[in-house]
Amino acid sequence: MPNTAPESAMSSLVHVVVGIIRNIQGEVLIALRDQKKHQGGLWEFPGGKVEAGESVIEALKRELQEELGLELISSFPLLEVEHNYGDKLVRLDVWEVESFQGAASGKEGQPIKWVELEELQNYQFPEANIEIVTFLLEK
């Protein structure tokens, strides 16, 4: 059966992988989105788009290296979130990073912060990330 969804709606789906990274104190790493990007000026969990032909785990490894200079050692899936912004539909594959090597730094010039779980509610996140924050606080 042919797909009858408008092509523009289909092409607006953005598949994103997200890493929940914790330090030994249990703080979670967040980064500030560039003002020029969609949802710019808001805090987010590190990650990025899954490229064509790339697995979710390959994308997570690449994004953590490019954005933060971290080498992913092990991780596991936490949850999946879909959110419609009107102009864009995003699917977030959220992974808990169990272990990594390196010291995190904003390799793309983005500010990063380690924050306690309870402090997450004091930061403004894109709407799609609210479900992640709620999940982490209830865990």
Residue 21 belongs to a domain? yes
**Per-residue exposure over 22-41, b if at least 16 CB sit within 10 Å of its own CB, e if not:** beeeeebbbbbbeeeeebee
Phi then psi for 118, rounded to 5 degrees?
-65, -25
Residue 126 belongs to a domain? no
Residue 10: what pLDDT? 47
Summarize the confidence of residues 100-105 as an average pLDDT.
Answer: 96
Of the pLDDT bands very low, low, confident and very high (cuts 50, 70, 90), residue 8 is very low
Residue 133 belongs to a domain? no
Given a contact cutoff of 8 angstroms between Cβ atoms, the answer to whether 50 and 13 are in contact is: no
Residue 81 belongs to a domain? yes
Of the pLDDT bands very low, low, confident and very high (cuts 50, 70, 90), residue 112 is very high
The boundaries of the domain holding residue 93 are 12-113
- What lies within 8 Å, CB to CB, of 92 at 6+ separation is 16, 17, 18, 47, 80, 81, 82, 83, 128, 129, 132
Residue 1: what pLDDT? 42
End-to-end Cα, the chain, rounded Å: 41
Of the pLDDT bands very low, low, confident and very high (cuts 50, 70, 90), residue 77 is very high
Residue 123 belongs to a domain? no
Of the pLDDT bands very low, low, confident and very high (cuts 50, 70, 90), residue 39 is low
Residue 5 belongs to a domain? no
Residue 42 belongs to a domain? yes
pTM of the model: 0.88
Tens-place pLDDT, residues 78-92: 999 999 988 889 999
How many residues does this entry show for the chain?
139
Summarize the confidence of residues 33-50 as an average pLDDT.
Answer: 84
Supply the CATH number for residue 37's domain: 3.90.79.10
Given a contact cutoff of 8 angstroms between Cβ atoms, the answer to whether 86 and 58 are in contact is: no
Residue 65 belongs to a domain? yes
Number of structural domains found in the chain: 1
